[in-house]
Structure 1
């Protein structure tokens, strides 16, 4: 995060390591919830593509996997519009986008557990598209907040770089990529455990996302230039 013209900015979607880890944990949490409740994913669209192909071959209901894919694409388009209108992604816009996502999670958490699956899956898939496009970096580390495949690859690459060059920078990069990769697993574990144990499982995602927003706001304020003597 840096400061441009006296206003804190999050260049290219840089949200800081702690916020990135919390957002990634939310991704694991939500997909564990959706899979256990509805046997579909909201963020991990690779899984939905496989489910769609299998359903088409077996003659099962394939539309339950097509709708989240379409909603995800709509989220990507919406994020591209945001990038076109504000290429530098000022901090207040990033906070506003995260706030919007948090509101979506709160609304979904208030829905009854027997609400139609589309009420959960479609909004979350739309949010997933936005998250993937707008939030890609945490300091010097690239990450994916809605899946773990790319994050695992980055961790192994950073660990290999550390073996070749045991510098503080390499160690920091390896630690950061490990944190983000493990955050997805921990989020999925929490999502699975809470969903299996109690009904209102989405409140866990609300807490994690809320913490991410708080950390981001605190970091943005810390970057503001001091005023006065």
Structure 2
């Protein structure tokens, strides 16, 4: 439970294995997710990263109390599609590392959303335009969700923060009252969860402020995500 990252078995979806400065990568990716999620909710009426929220909004809409339920449905389906497709892209045999393929897929889908957001004038006409944009955002966040699922062997999520809150509570309990052998690991996990949650919330605040320039919000997210390519350990597959 207390092994250092270098002593653990290779894990192709661990930020420590694939990125230099993995804590920075965790902070940036969760911040981007919160940034675009807040923007999409305020602009389209649907989340693009928080799919548990979309499931609730879909139910509220079907009960006649949320007119934007088609946007939530479109984002849900697109998120699942992005996750499914990019997971297969990462798993395929290639000369390029899974992290590079995953990051490239996330950047491309986020760039596609940025272009559509500009062409469709950030969905200001409503109707099918917002549905299409919610789907484009969901596709990008589904791709981003596959980038890594652990940091130093500890489960961490980029887009699904309900699970993060659950894990924080569990880990704090083990840290305070668990066996001595697991307390260091629990403390590390609680810190990583709090880091992810804080950055997601901070991103949400920035995404709200960015409503003043709605045309460029997904583009800013694309640039920030593309910058992580400089932190990849290697573009070549080590498998």
TM-score normalised by L of structure 1: 0.76
CA deviation map 1:146-187 (0-9, x unaligned): 131111122222222322349654443332221112111111
The alignment covers a number of residue pairs equal to 213
1:131-170 correspondence to structure 2 within 5 Å: 131-164=144-177, 165=180, 168-170=184-186
Q: Using a 3 Å threshold, how does the CA distance of structure 1 residues 57 and 173 change in structure 2: closer, same or farther? A: closer
Distance in 2 between residues matched to 1:34 and 1:123, nearest whole Å? 11
Structure 1: runs of 5 or more not aligned: 3-8, 225-229
Contact 2:82/2:139 (8 A) holds in 1: yes
The aligned residue for residue 53 of structure 1 is: 59
TM-score by length of 2: 0.73
What residue number does 2:78 align with?
A: 71
- Change in CA separation of 1:38 and 1:91 when aligned onto 2, cut-off 3 Å: closer
CA contact (8 A) 2:27 2:195 kept: yes
Once the two structures are superposed, what CA deviation does each residue of 1:34-61 show, in whole Å capped at 9, x if it has no partner?
1111111112122222222222222856
**Shift of residue 125, structure 1, vs aligned partner:** 0.8
Q: Which of these residues, 115, 126, 150, is aligned with residue 107 of structure 1?
A: 115
Matches within 5 A, 1:187-202: 187-195=203-211, 197-199=212-214, 200-202=216-218
Q: 1:6 aligns to what?
A: none
CA contact (8 A) 1:105 1:206 kept: no
* Deviation of the 1:78 alpha carbon: 0.6
Unaligned stretches of 5+ residues in structure 2: none
* DSSP-derived class of the 1:11 partner: coil
How far apart, CA to CA, are the structure 2 residues paired with 1:19 and 1:108? 26
Identify the structure with bigger relative contact order (alpha carbons < 8 Å, sequence gap 6+).
1
2:14·2:152 contact (CA, 8 Å) conserved in 1?
no
Superposed CA RMSD in Å reads 3.2
Distance 1:161 1:36 in 2: 38
